Structure 1
Amino acid sequence: MAPSKIEQGHGRVVLHNDGYANVFSDMSATYPLKLLSPQLPSPNVSVVYMLSYGGGLVGGDRVVLDVEVHDGARLAILSQGSTKVFKARPGQRLSARWQLHPVTTQRLAVRVAPRSALFLLPDPVTCFRAAKYHQIQTFHLSKDSSAVLLDWITSGRKSLGEEWVFSKYLSLNEVWIEGKRVAKDSLLLEERDSLPGPLTPRTLAESLAPYSCYATLIMYGMLLEDTICHLTAAYTAITVFKQHAPPPLLWSLSPICEGRGCVVRVAAKETEHVRSWIGNALKDLEGVLGVDVYRRAFA
């Protein structure tokens, strides 16, 4: 039977474990989405790189990816470099429809079966000047599955003087366990043209200063017990004193599911500070994913 046709920008990943090693029963994608899976020494851990042609997404691009993990398999979804979002690709003439609605959209739907695990550990999103980006990610888990969802954004191309100068960024993350929603995190960053009355609205750069990177980390499951325990202890021990200037990095932790999961938020003046902090916070994943996969995510 011939395979069904995939819509433009759609992809699908289905991972099983046959009792000996992980096996992809489906891994397919169409432009502008591209999926790659390298060979790994561990038979029960797989990696899929989620890429885009041309080094980024442009206004009007639509990407939809469905992921399923079964039979105790462990899957890490990574990227190679930040997800760049352009208003338009250089030299490209947008159609009339794209000129009216030049929003770049990326949707991810994940289902993780019992004893299975999914680790979404991409590089951050970087929106260029005037870009509009919507990202919607949904996780459907079993009470016996495990998952890590990392969602983070940078201020833009600081080397070119672009800091928080995109037009709109919308990110929505939802986690469901056994059909019950246990976490919903929404972030909307958008320039305001005006405010009621004589007030002048602050720019995004003014509102988000002095930090240039914001991250949300959602974790759940047995494989994350040690990590959640260590972070909870570290957060409980924090003593807050009045400071004369914002610190280089801030973080917070909110437990979910009676402590079986948590939502961590991080903000820092430099993206690499956030990367380093998350890499240290998830150090226990070396024993879950293997040193090679861990280093691929946080090198």
Structure 2
Amino acid sequence: METGFVVVEKVRGKSSVTQSFSKYPLKLIIPNKVGSNKTDAVWIYSLTYGGGIVSGDIISCGLTVGDDCTTVFTTQSSTKVYKSVGFKCSEQNLEWRLSRHARVALIGSNALLVVVPDPVTCFSTARYSQKQVFRLASNSSVVIVDWITSGRHEIGESWDFKLYKSTNHIFLEDQPLFLDSVLLEDGSITNISERMQGYQVIAMVILLGPKLKEVQIQVKEHVKRMMYEQLYTPTLGCKKRKSFGQTKPDMIASCSAFGPKGIGVVVRISKNYNRSRCIGFRDLRLTKDGAPQGHHHITDVIPE
């Protein structure tokens, strides 16, 4: 049973919410205007009653984005997952459709969806499972940020939860394009904290679609340059790999293309300290300089 859904369509030439619904434990806030006045975008904020997800909570939410519409889905703060009671697992299932008609899986065109929540923060002993399904047209565009912190770092928790699973599926014209799943589970031999080797944040950023071509190029160059600086020491006439000894790079990032003709880019990031903002994403400081006219950019719809 759905606990929420939103439908965004063009009304008098502007992206507008035509249907919305939410019920406990989910609450959706849709402000009249956020971000640049020049940007035609609907903003949707997701939050939960009590500020977090309680053991056994099940959230199911759908979003339909119509032709030529731009929508940003975000949160007011980190998604807190409270400790589990017994073996109960908190679940969140989200389905995003870029579609012509409300709640019908007809694929729309020229739409942009930006999903940039704050990170998931699992408390000690928590169990959490999340699944996101994206159904896109061939000329739709999407930005997805999916990330998790080690927990309540300020009180000494570090990967102390029991289970975290995050699944992201992207379908292009009803064909599977990107199927990804991350599973962190406490084991009998090693715990999650030992396997994370001191890193406190992991993130995945996906950039897909024609409106993000210039952004993809910038991201690839940024990751390449960033990792070169992390791993190599410049010397006269050559490059020398750094010797870290017992220390590790502050951040490790990889970037790769996926899909036919490399239409999508996925960036994976591990970082050894918590940040209140989306590490490795807003840090890119992407600008509109040099971009073809008419292209949407992340900084056009995401506030600093």
Equivalent of 1:168 in 144, 155, 163: 163
Pair 1:74 & 2:82 matched: no
Q: What aligned pairs does 1:33-44 form with structure 2 within 5 A after superposition?
A: 33-40=26-33, 41-42=37-38, 44=40
| Mapped contact 2:206–2:264 kept (Cα < 8 A) | yes
Q: How far, CA to CA, are the matches of 1:150 and 1:107 in structure 2?
A: 15
Q: How far, CA to CA, are the matches of 1:236 and 1:14 in structure 2?
A: 38
Q: What aligned pairs does 1:230-249 form with structure 2 within 5 A after superposition?
A: 230-236=218-224, 239=228, 240=231, 241-244=241-244, 245-249=247-251
| Mapped contact 2:39–2:300 kept (Cα < 8 A) | no
Pair 1:265 & 2:251 matched: no
Larger helix fraction of residues: 1
Letter in 2 for 1:82: S
Equivalent of 1:10 in 3, 11, 14: 3
- Structure 1 unaligned spans of 5+: 1-6, 89-98, 194-200
Letter in 2 for 1:11: G
More moved, 269-278 vs 245-254: 269-278
Equivalent of 1:255 in 254, 257, 262: 257
Equivalent of 1:155 in 146, 150, 156: 150
Deviations 1:125-161 (A, max 9, x none): 0000100000000111111000011100000001111
Pair 1:220 & 2:208 matched: yes
Q: What aligned pairs does 1:66-215 form with structure 2 within 5 A after superposition?
A: 66-87=62-83, 99=85, 101-112=87-98, 113-193=108-188, 201-215=189-203
Deviation at 1:180, TM superposition (A): 1.5
Deviation at 1:115, TM superposition (A): 0.4
Quickly say closer, same or farther: Cα 1:157–1:168, change in 2 above 3 A.
Answer: same
SS of 2:275's partner is helix
Q: How far, CA to CA, are the matches of 1:217 and 1:291 in structure 2?
A: 15
Q: How far, CA to CA, are the matches of 2:169 and 2:89 in structure 1?
A: 21
| Mapped contact 2:5–2:20 kept (Cα < 8 A) | yes
Letter in 1 for 2:213: E
Q: What aligned pairs does 1:21-36 form with structure 2 within 5 A after superposition?
A: 21-36=14-29
Give the match for residue 237 of structure 2: none
Q: How far, CA to CA, are the matches of 1:277 and 1:66 in structure 2?
A: 27
Pair 1:60 & 2:56 matched: yes
- Structure 2 unaligned spans of 5+: 99-107, 232-240, 290-294
Quickly say closer, same or farther: Cα 1:84–1:216, change in 2 above 3 A.
Answer: same
SS of 2:283's partner is helix
Which TM-score applies when normalising by structure 1? 0.84
| Mapped contact 2:211–2:297 kept (Cα < 8 A) | no
Which TM-score applies when normalising by structure 2? 0.83
Q: How far, CA to CA, are the matches of 1:175 and 1:131 in structure 2?
A: 27
Letter in 2 for 1:18: V
Letter in 1 for 2:243: Q
Q: How far, CA to CA, are the matches of 1:170 and 1:183 in structure 2?
A: 17
Deviation at 1:124, TM superposition (A): 0.1
Q: How far, CA to CA, are the matches of 1:285 and 1:104 in structure 2?
A: 40
Pair 1:275 & 2:278 matched: yes
The number of equivalent residue pairs is 272
